[in-house]
Copies of this chain bind each other. A is one copy, B any other.
Amino acid sequence: MYKKKLFEKFISFTASVHTTTHNITKGAKPSNISQVQYKILELVSISQPMTPSEINDCLNMSMPNTSRELRLLSEKKLIEKTLDPDDRRKQYIGLSPEGKDLITDAFSIIESRFSDRIQHLSENELQEVDQALDFLQKKLFQ
């Protein structure tokens, strides 16, 4: 059946994405932060600012663990917490200047690997890649 095939394609696709992300990212993260800590910084850099709960949900963690990792990042001066004036239970997490620098450095390594990967593609193919990323993110990966 058609949907079965599509499902298999989906499984194989996500496995490839995982492998590729791992390869393209490896070595870009500085060794003084852990993998989850890097993921948090990356996430926050994409959609700043976020609350701990939102980070928790996006990265599928548990609040105690999220809280601890945020504390560690905060102790390393890589993020900054600000309280919501309207609801003082909430806080917003943003990157500190040092955190921004860290992500900038990491992204520049990753971006150069990404460039290598797309360098042989034609203008047309690049546009198709662009559209496919948009389309899948919207329709399948929300």
Contacts and interface: CB of A to CB of B under 8 A. Distances in A.
How many copies the complex holds: the figure is: 2
Contact of A9 (B16, B130, B139): B130
Contacts of A141: 13, 16-17, 19-20
**SS class, residues of chain A in contact with chain B:** helix
A134 B9 contact: yes
Given A21-B14, A42-B15, A46-B11, A6 B129 contact: yes
Given A15-B42, A18-B21, A136 B126 contact: no
Contacts of A20: 14, 140-142
Interface of A: 2-4, 6-7, 9-23, 26, 42-43, 46, 58-60, 107, 110-111, 114-115, 117-118, 121, 125-126, 128-130, 132-137, 139-142
24 contacts: A3-B118, A3-B126, A4-B111, A6-B130, A7-B114, A9-B134, A10-B114, A10-B133, A11-B107, A12-B46, A14-B20, A15-B58, A17-B141, A19-B58, A19-B59, A26-B60, A118-B140, A121-B139, A125-B139, A128-B135, A129-B140, A132-B136, A133-B136, A136-B136
